[in-house]
Amino acid sequence: MTTTNAALKAWVDTMTQLTTPDNVHWCDGSQGEYDTLIKQMVADGTMTELDQDKWSGCYYHRSSPNDVARVEHLTFICSENKDDAGPNNNWEDPAKMKAKMNGLFEGCMQGRTMYVVPYCMGPVGSPYSKVGIEITDSPYVTVNMRIMTRMGQQALDKLGDSTDFVRGLHSTGELDPDRRFICHFPETREIMSFGSGYGGNALLGKKCHALRIASIQARDEGWLAEHMLILGLESPEGETTYVCAAFPSACGKTNLAMLIPPAEYKGWKAWCVGDDIAWLRWGPDGRLWAINPEAGFFGVAPGTSEKTNPMALASLKTNSIFTNTALTEDNQPWWEGLGPPPAKATDWKGNAWTPATETAAAHPNSRFTSPAKNCPVASPEMDAPEGVPISAFIFGGRRARTAPLVFEAFDWNHGVYVGAMAASETTAAATGKVGVVRRDPFAMKPFCGYNFADYFGHWLKMGTQSEKAPKIFHVNWFRTDANGKFAWPGFGQNMRVLEWVLKRCAGEVDAVDTPIGAVPASGGLNLQGSGVDAAQLDDLLDVDSDEWQEELKGQKEFLEQYGDRMPKEMWNQYHALAERLSAVGAR
């Protein structure tokens, strides 16, 4: 590992003095370094080697049982000005929080090795990529970062002597939930994360850098950093159209990103460019181009199977790390939904487990970390420096009623409003209370590093900058019928909705206006072979006045939280929607 970057060396020296590690290791990102770290973790019990004949290059890790997910209540945006963080974030004064965090970090790496992890978010050759440095005392984090980012010497080479890098300091500390904080300092582009080893809290390139800090950089520099998958759909004629889609966590983003078109779609191919994050900029041609800043998938294991997502399953078969799944007696990972349960296993907490055990074998948020290149439908454009041109944005959530299967926004500003009002209903499993609407604007509620009112303003402004802005759509795969059953088959069948989206982008198919947006005209959505008939589709596309009056109330409450800072145009959109709804109500 070599660098002449004086600012970087000085910062690493200061962090070394603060945390006092026994050793400092600068990561070069090589396979040899990765193998050495894995070997070391197998030796000390941090990792278990899986059956290498069936799971080549795969390892298993069990985290502390109190450290299995992102901790939104312990995540802070420490901007100089509280209003800049907005009601959508926890805020603390940066000087106060820095002092508190420095206290936690003081001497915390004693007896440990400090790993200096240079990483590049985005293809190394892309002018749109950004370099960050994560300092961590976790070898588990280090090997995960090598899968999730372009890591090591290549990132240092890209950085050169520039001082423009995100500074991330991470320690697992004592994994004490009372001494766990994930803090962002937007003005100085710094991240300090203490007390957790979980991906979303500890792999600082992902949510902390590529979304929270990058969303702020994007606002300042005129681009977008979004919680979106990027999917290419290639027609039988060989033309590929790209879409970006934003859904709240655990609403099937990875599944849609790796969709397999149904049998009726002969000759169609779907290509995965990314499953979680998109960075978008206007290209010289006036279109919006997207890169995936990541190099791997950090996917939820439970529910992933040959049936639901064969492409994810193929991706995780080699060179992957499994965290908090179950482990079978013959050293294979297992999770609920994968297939028949093993007769005996060890559960995610390390306890003996059999199918008769009442608790789940895998934690519901157990994960696989896999190289994106493993995916059989990884887009050939995944490394393209300029990214891919986006024709449509698709927003969605999990709604039992209210939101129809699909609708198109009337124009960009209406589309921004639709994205801002994206919401999901909680499921019984999550809260014990079904049907509570949780607003998750642009699926960015946990990830927008600044005031949502300003974020919506930024999106509105972006739309004024080109005539070729993508069209905006909203989908809902989770609508239920009168019996409470899912009315739409989902998964690969979602291709039918995507085809309609593509046809709308190409101006090839009609739509019917409703008060909330335009839905497919009769016969416009291909149902052949779907198992859904025309009457069922009518129900799936129905816009119910009473449900929307209720929805309007929730939208108003949400907008009001942001006071004067909410752009007037968002209120204009609200009033226009209310008027359109009352016009049909009065009919």
What is the nearest approach in angstroms of ligand OXD to the Cβ of residue 194?
20
Alpha carbon 93 to its chain centroid, in Å, reads 27
- Give 276 or 347: the residue with its C-beta nearer to ligand OXD: 276
Could you say whether residue 200 binds ligand OXD (CB under 6 A)?
Answer: yes
381 binds Mn ion (CB under 5 A): no
The entry of ligand OXD, Mn ion, none that residue 200 binds, CB within 5 to 8 Å by partner kind: ligand OXD
Which distant-in-sequence residues (6+ apart) come within 8 Å of 294 by Cβ?
121, 148, 149, 205, 206, 210, 274, 276, 277, 372
* Residue 276 vs 551, nearer CB to ligand OXD: 276
Nearest approach in angstroms of CB 213 to ligand OXD is 16
Nearest to 520 by CA among 495, 503, 544: 503
Instruction: List the single partner that 341 binds among ligand OXD, Mn ion, none, CB under 5 to 8 Å by kind.
Output: none
Minimum Å distance from CB 276 to Mn ion? 4
Pick from 494, 475, 485: nearest CA to 536: 485
447 vs 456 by CB, closer to ligand OXD: 447
The per-residue DSSP string of 100-113 comes to: HHHHHHTTTTTTSE
List residues with catalytic annotation.
Answer: 251
Q: Which of 292, 290, 362 is nearest to 324 (CA)?
A: 362
- The site partner of 500 among ligand OXD, Mn ion, none (C-beta below 5 to 8 Å per kind) is none
Element (H, E) at 313: helix 310-315
Q: How far is the CB of 246 from ligand OXD (least distance, A)?
A: 11
Q: Would you count residue 276 as binding Mn ion (CB under 5 A)? A: yes
Q: Does 366 bind ligand OXD (CB under 6 A)?
A: no
The residue (of 193 and 249) whose beta carbon lies closer to ligand OXD is: 249
Q: Least CB distance from residue 193 to Mn ion, whole Å?
A: 17
Between 247 and 562, whose beta carbon lies closer to ligand OXD?
247
Among 144, 196, 215, 249, binds ligand OXD (CB under 6 A): 249
Q: Where are the alpha helices (DSSP H) in 65-118?
A: 82-85, 94-105
Q: List the x/- string, 41-80, binding to ligand OXD by CB under 6 A.
A: -----------------------------x----------
Q: CA–CA separation, 498 vs 443, rounded Å?
A: 19
Q: How many residues bind ligand OXD (CB under 6 A)?
A: 5
- CB atoms closer than 10 angstroms to residue 111: 10
Please choose, from the candidates 102, 107, 199, the residue with its C-alpha nearest in 3D space to the C-alpha of residue 145: 199
Taking CB atoms within 8 Å and a gap of at least 24, the contacts of 423-429 are: 423/397, 423/399, 423/554, 424/248, 424/251, 424/397, 424/398, 424/399, 425/397, 425/398, 425/399, 425/400, 427/398, 429/364
- The distance of closest approach from Cβ of residue 365 to ligand OXD in the complex, given in angstroms and rounded to an integer, is 8
Residues 255-284 that bind ligand OXD (CB under 6 A): 276
| Measured CA distances, 326 to 46, 51, 54, 55 (Å) | 15, 14, 16, 15
Query: Quick one: what does residue 144 bind among ligand OXD, Mn ion, none, with the CB cut-off 5 to 8 Å set by partner type?
Result: none
Q: In the complex, which residues of this chain contact ligand OXD (CB under 6 A)?
A: 70, 200, 249, 276, 298
Q: In the complex, which residues of this chain contact Mn ion (CB under 5 A)?
A: 276
